Structure formats: structure tokens, C-alpha cells
């Protein structure tokens, strides 16, 4: 009987993971289309005026947030609840910093450099950073839900699918930026 329950639990987890990866692959297609459109419309050209320091800073913030997200999952997988909470909080802070950097700083600065959402390179720039920022926002909200659930003691080493799913989604958002950063800021 216990073997049957164990198999059922494993099957559910395997199906959950498969479902999440299918969602991630389908979502990745939208980003891939945006990336292809950017190169189809503008080739490898980009405005020289883009704030390189900000682009690099945002990239570092998001990569560090992926490390803290990984550490959060590793912590709960090994029974360290305080490590989970600490690293989730750090990930949420880094994610919020990234959002502030893109929407609050870059989007305000870009029009002064001639990059506007209605025309030219700005169409690609704002649609790519906009859709990505929306995913960052939903990722932060997911991580907040997981954080408050974790504070109530909802997760343990044998039961942390909620943490795993939110963290995987967060890493996916990071992988998208790994391609968007050079496409928007570095190629020429």
C-alpha cells in the first residue's frame, strides 16, 4: 500500500514538473518571436546612446537573484526553513530592484535619448523589456505568495513543490534576459 502511495506521489510530482516545463516552453516561444522580430526589423543595429552601465547592472541583479532563488530551493530541500525565507526575501528584493531599474529608470531615460515606444528601435526595445518586466512582476508576486506560505510553515524537505515551481519560473525569466540583454544592449 505504501508503495502505491509513494508511486502516486512521484507520478503527481513528475506530472507537475512536465506541466510546468510545457508552460515554460510555450511561453519561451513568445519571447523567441520577439527576439526574431527585433533582428528582422533592425538587424544588428542599436542606438549607441543606450545606458550600458544600467543594462549591465540590471543583468547582474537578475543573475544574483537566480543564485538566491537556487539557494532558497536548496535550503528547503535540505530542511533549512530560515535559509528558505532569507533567500526568498533576497530574491524578491532583487526582482523588485530589477523592475525599478527597467520601468522606473530605463523607461524614463530612454525617450530623452530618442528611443520612444511608437517608432523605430523603441518598438522592439519597449515591447521586449515590457513583456519581460511583466514576467518579472508576476514572478515577484509568485515568490511573495511562496514567502508568506513558507512563513506559515507550509513547506518541508518532503513537500516543497510550490517553492520549486516559483523558483523554476524565476530562473526562466532570468534565461530570457540572458538572451535579451545582448540583443538589446550589446550587438552592433
Partner 1 sequence: MNTLEQLRAKKMRVGWLVGAGLAVTTVVEYYIAVGLARPLVPLAIVALIKAWLIVVYFMHIKQLWTSEEGGH
The residues that touch partner 1, with contacts defined as CB under 8 A, are 10, 13-14, 17-18, 21, 44, 56, 59-60, 63-64, 66-67, 69-71, 74-75, 77-80, 157-161, 164, 168, 171-172, 174-175, 178-179, 182, 185-188
The DSSP symbol for 45 reads -
Q: How far is the CB of 117 from partner 1 (least distance, A)?
A: 25
Give the shortest CB-179-to-partner 1 separation in angstroms.
Answer: 5
SS3 label, residue 156: strand
> Which of 108, 188 has the CB closer to partner 1?
188
Compute the distance between CA of residue 151 and CA of residue 160 in angstroms, rounded to an integer: 13
As given in the structure block, the three cell numbers for residue 183 are 540583443
Residue 127, classified by CB atoms within 10 Å of its CB into exposed (0-12), middle (13-18) or buried (19+), is middle
C-alpha cell belonging to residue 111: 525617450
Residue 43's region, left for phi above 0, alpha for psi from -120 to 50, else beta, is left
| Cβ 118 to partner 1 shortest distance, Å | 27
**Which one, 18 or 111, has the nearer CB to partner 1?**
18
Residue among 52 and 138 whose Cβ is closer to partner 1: 52
User: Least separation, in Å, of the C-beta of 84 and partner 1?
Assistant: 11
Q: Which is nearer to partner 1, 111 or 157 (CB)?
A: 157
Taking each helix axis as running N to C, give the angle between helix 161-181 and helix 2-42, from 0 to 180 degrees, rounded to the nearest 10: 20
Residue nearer to partner 1 on the CB measure, 28 or 116: 28
Shortest CB 141 distance to partner 1, Å: 20
15-19, Cβ contacts within 8 angstroms, sequence gap of 24 or more: 16/161, 16/165
Amino acid at each position: 500500500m505504501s508503495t502505491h502511495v509513494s508511486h502516486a506521489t512521484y507520478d503527481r510530482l513528475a506530472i507537475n514538473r512536465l506541466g510546468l516545463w510545457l508552460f515554460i516552453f510555450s511561453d519561451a516561444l513568445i519571447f523567441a518571436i520577439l527576439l526574431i522580430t527585433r533582428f528582422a526589423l533592425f538587424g544588428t543595429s542599436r542606438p549607441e546612446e543606450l545606458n550600458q552601465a544600467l543594462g549591465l547592472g540590471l543583468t547582474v541583479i537578475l543573475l544574483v537573484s537566480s543564485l538566491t532563488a537556487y539557494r532558497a530551493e536548496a535550503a528547503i530541500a535540505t530542511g533549512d526553513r530560515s535559509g528558505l525565507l532569507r533567500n526568498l526575501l533576497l530574491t524578491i528584493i532583487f526582482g523588485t530592484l530589477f523592475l525599478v531599474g527597467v520601468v522606473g529608470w530605463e523607461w524614463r531615460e530612454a525617450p530623452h535619448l530618442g528611443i520612444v515606444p511608437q517608432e523605430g528601435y523603441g518598438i522592439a526595445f519597449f515591447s521586449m523589456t515590457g513583456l519581460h518586466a511583466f514576467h518579472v512582476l508576476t514572478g515577484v508576486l509568485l515568490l511573495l505568495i511562496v514567502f508568506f506560505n513558507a512563513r506559515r510553515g507550509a513547506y518541508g524537505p518532503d513537500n516543497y513543490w510550490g517553492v520549486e515551481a516559483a523558483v523554476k519560473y524565476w530562473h526562466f525569466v532570468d534565461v530570457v534576459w540572458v538572451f535579451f540583454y545582448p540583443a538589446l544592449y550589446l550587438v552592433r
